[in-house]
Amino acid sequence: MKKIFIIFILIIITFILSCKKDSEETSKTILKETVECENDNITWLNGVALIEGKPRFLEPIGTLHLSYKYIEKCKTEILKNSVIMMTSDTKKLFLYDSKKNDPYSWLTKTKKVLYYKVENCNFYISDDRENWDQLEIKIVDENPPIGTDEDHPAVMIIHLKCKWFEGDYEIIGES
């Protein structure tokens, strides 16, 4: 009976490890199809590509929200471009405004569509796919405290700046 139990446990461990490896390979394949960057010195930190310690581009990390500290500094009730959604398949950014008192609810009528590309290990944004503006990325806080939304804690806060938007945005993790 013990032998059967041990074999069963080994099979489960093997299955779990193979699933994890497949998931990592799929993620790398999607990323290679999404970005153009021939550099073996990339290190990743919560979806941000670092080259020589400097943030250069983002992987398609889903949805970014303005950080609570940044929102507190805003003087208007409507937060411009407070939500950024990234797609990997169409290389689009969807920007939404929100209300200061409810920053996680999007004002859908304010939707703006931009396009992005990663070229020469830099992140570029355009509204027409012809004129590209390089996105400036800075890490504000690698280990932010858990804010008011414990279900969607920020794992890192980054400052993003281009001609269409600027702000400190939270990269959201899973609880």
* pLDDT reading at 20 higher than 50: no
Confidence of residue 80 (pLDDT cuts 50, 70, 90): very high
- The more confident residue out of 102 and 145 is 102
Rounded Cα gap, residues 64 and 74, in angstroms: 17
The residue ranges of every structural domain in the chain are 56-172
Residue 85's region, left for phi above 0, alpha for psi from -120 to 50, else beta, is beta
* pLDDT number for residue 147: 59
Rounded Cα gap, residues 131 and 74, in angstroms: 29
Strand order in the sheet with 48-51: 42-45, 48-51, 54-58
* pLDDT number for residue 34: 47
154-160 mean pLDDT: 92
* pLDDT reading at 174 higher than 80: no
